[in-house]
Amino acid sequence: MRSVGEIAQLACVLEATAPKAGNVHPRCAFHNAFWSDFVVSASVTRPVFDRAAVCHVGATVLECVRVTRDATGTNTNLGIALLLAPLCAVLIDTPLRPGVAQVLRQLDDSDTAAVYEAIRVAAPGGLGRVAAHDVHYKPDTDLITAMRCVADRDAIARQYACGFADVFDVVSPCLVQAVLRGEPLDRAIVGVHLQLLASAPDSLIRRKCGDADAHDVQRRATQVLDAGWPNTPAGLAAFDEFDAHLRDDGHRRNPGTSADMIAAGLFVAVRDGDIAEPFTWSESIEPELTCIV
């Protein structure tokens, strides 16, 4: 049986390896981030997540950000750390959903301060100033209240506000259903990522590029699915065009929050045994994944 840290590492590597639109994967890099950075990040955070059950959630998030920056020099996983820290804090023999609810109820002022510090250290794209609960200042409320204030425009914050409902009710089930239909795991990941982009504006794109660009990406993702991806030539061509659009202009439209949600959904599905090894993949990567994780 894998530990929670090993499951977290596996989920992060699987997410980063699938060729999702607009994201880093083995065949596509950004000017400041490569697939190897995400693999290294997954590796160095594994022991941090393994300690999550005996540490505060905020401390786990902050330590993940620090060890990642030390190892890669960049922010590859703030969103993932925010999502996986409460999930990994649940003991491995405890049901995950009620366990996460209990973890969230136990958050205290130290968690708020540590999460604020983690966000400042990671310096995610599009981080500006806000009127209420600005992370650049000392926290003036508890973490759940702060997350609720931005839940309507930030998918990760919404998970703290709603008990990770999107992860448990949407992302993980969609991944599992795709695998049960016989889809290779990488295609399932890419497809659910597209579904997330079509269902709502990506939080990172919205923060970096504004509402108009974020809604345009949502519209384009819908067009890819409507064109029949991945089962029609028109759908495949639409996906390639969509991918190129996201990567244009220095990857400003990187749909990173939706990718983070995929990692969380994979963690839940693997931890609960709904997606199990060996994984079926469109290309033979099982030996490489075995070596990595």
* Total number of domains in the chain: 1
Q: What is the mean pLDDT of residues 199-222?
A: 96
3-state helix, strand, coil in the chain (%, to 5): 65, 0, 30
| pLDDT band at residue 89 using 50, 70 and 90 as cut-offs | very high
Residue type for 113, please? A
Per-residue confidence (pLDDT) for residue 139, from 0 to 100? 62
Per-residue confidence (pLDDT) for residue 128, from 0 to 100? 45
Per-residue confidence (pLDDT) for residue 282, from 0 to 100? 86
How many helices (DSSP H) and strands (DSSP E) are in the chain?
16, 0
91-116 exposure pattern, b = at least 16 Cβ within 10 A, e = fewer: eeeeebbebbeebbeebeeebbbbbb
146-185 exposure pattern, b = at least 16 Cβ within 10 A, e = fewer: bbbbbbeebbbbbbbbbbbebbbebbbbbbbebbeeebbb
For residue 257 the two structure tokens come to: 């929050």
Contact 204, 256 (CB under 8 A): yes
* Per-residue pLDDT at 135 exceeds 80: no
Q: What is the mean pLDDT of residues 265-287?
A: 86
Residue 154 backbone phi and psi in degrees, to 5: -140, 115
Q: What is the mean pLDDT of residues 201-220?
A: 95
Averaged pLDDT of the chain: 91
The parent domain of residue 94 ranges over 4-292
Q: How far is CA 228 from CA 58, 223, 243, in A?
A: 42, 9, 16
3-state class (DSSP) for residue 28: strand
Residue type for 255, please? P
Per-residue confidence (pLDDT) for residue 132, from 0 to 100? 46
* Per-residue pLDDT at 293 exceeds 90: no
Which regions of the chain does DSSP assign to beta strands (E)? none
